[in-house]
Amino acid sequence: MQFLLKHKLALLVGCIWLLLFGCNSANDDQIRFEQQSFMEPEGITRTDFSARITSLDENDWRIGPIFLGFVNVFNPPFPNPIGNQNVRFELDVISIGAVDGLIIVTQDETGFNRTLFTFPSSPLPTGIITVQFPARLLDNSGIFTNARGIHRIWCYDRRGRLITYGDILVE
């Protein structure tokens, strides 16, 4: 007890230092994660119609550092590659009140962000959240044949923090 009394200022400074550097580390990791999401796609995570992964792209569908332990990708988009049908994937929200909404976006050929899906409640409820939208929306014309190719999908919360991202191949 005497040690605590004698060194309370040093302990207080040490605790503040740990909090500051601990937060900065998580923020720095999140910033790196978000920067990586804008690199060119190198492949896709291939899945069949039952959501079984047949080929894994290690860069797809990772969880942002500030969301680790709060949300997981339950099923990445399936099937992938996809034809003229709905893109579907599932997130598993583990923690109550941890994720402030959900906005799914892609970028068109001019770099403009377009919203593909928005979950209506915030914060997200715990459990499985199903994201679903027509593959034709991946092209700004809404015409399926124009949507062919690889598309990067970003999943953000309503505060603009990246939860996960990955690639979908439209054939």
Q: Verify that 74 and 116 share a domain, yes or no.
A: yes
Backbone angles phi, psi at 44, to 5 degrees: -135, 160
Examine residue 8 and state whether it is found in any structural domain, yes or no: yes
How is residue 65 annotated by DSSP?
Answer: G
Examine residue 41 and state whether it is found in any structural domain, yes or no: no
Q: How confident is the model at residue 24 (pLDDT cuts 50, 70, 90)?
A: low
Q: How confident is the model at residue 4 (pLDDT cuts 50, 70, 90)?
A: very low
Q: How confident is the model at residue 5 (pLDDT cuts 50, 70, 90)?
A: very low
Q: Verify that 31 and 63 share a domain, yes or no.
A: no
Q: Verify that 92 and 8 share a domain, yes or no.
A: no
Per-residue model confidence (pLDDT) at position 109: 80
Backbone angles phi, psi at 55, to 5 degrees: -155, 125
Examine residue 128 and state whether it is found in any structural domain, yes or no: yes
Q: Verify that 16 and 66 share a domain, yes or no.
A: no
Q: How confident is the model at residue 146 (pLDDT cuts 50, 70, 90)?
A: confident
Examine residue 65 and state whether it is found in any structural domain, yes or no: yes
Asked if the model's pLDDT at residue 20 lies above 50, the reply is: no
Q: Verify that 100 and 161 share a domain, yes or no.
A: yes
DSSP string, 22-43: HHHHHHHHHHHHHHHTTSPP--
pLDDT tens for residues 55-100? 999 999 999 999 999 999 999 999 999 999 999 999 999 999 999 9
- What amino acid occupies position 2? Q
pLDDT tens for residues 117-144? 999 889 999 999 999 999 999 988 888 8
Q: Verify that 50 and 111 share a domain, yes or no.
A: yes
Asked if the model's pLDDT at residue 6 lies above 60, the reply is: no
Examine residue 116 and state whether it is found in any structural domain, yes or no: yes
| Rounded distance between C-alpha atoms, residue 164 and residue 89, angstroms | 12
Percent of the chain residues topping a pLDDT of 70: 86
Q: Verify that 19 and 85 share a domain, yes or no.
A: no
- Non-local CB neighbours of 122 within 8 Å, separated by 6+ positions: 100, 101, 158
More confident residue, 155 or 22: 155
Domain count, the chain: 2
Q: How confident is the model at residue 25 (pLDDT cuts 50, 70, 90)?
A: confident
Q: Verify that 23 and 52 share a domain, yes or no.
A: no
Q: Verify that 107 and 149 share a domain, yes or no.
A: yes
Q: Verify that 11 and 95 share a domain, yes or no.
A: no
Per-residue model confidence (pLDDT) at position 137: 92
Examine residue 54 and state whether it is found in any structural domain, yes or no: yes
pTM confidence score: 0.83
Examine residue 25 and state whether it is found in any structural domain, yes or no: yes
Closest Cα to residue 149, out of 169, 122, 165, 129? 169
- CATH number of the CATH domain containing 107: 2.60.40.10
Examine residue 162 and state whether it is found in any structural domain, yes or no: yes
Asked if the model's pLDDT at residue 17 lies above 50, the reply is: no
Q: Verify that 80 and 50 share a domain, yes or no.
A: yes
17: domain range?
2-36
Q: Verify that 24 and 87 share a domain, yes or no.
A: no
Mean of all residue pLDDT scores within the chain: 86
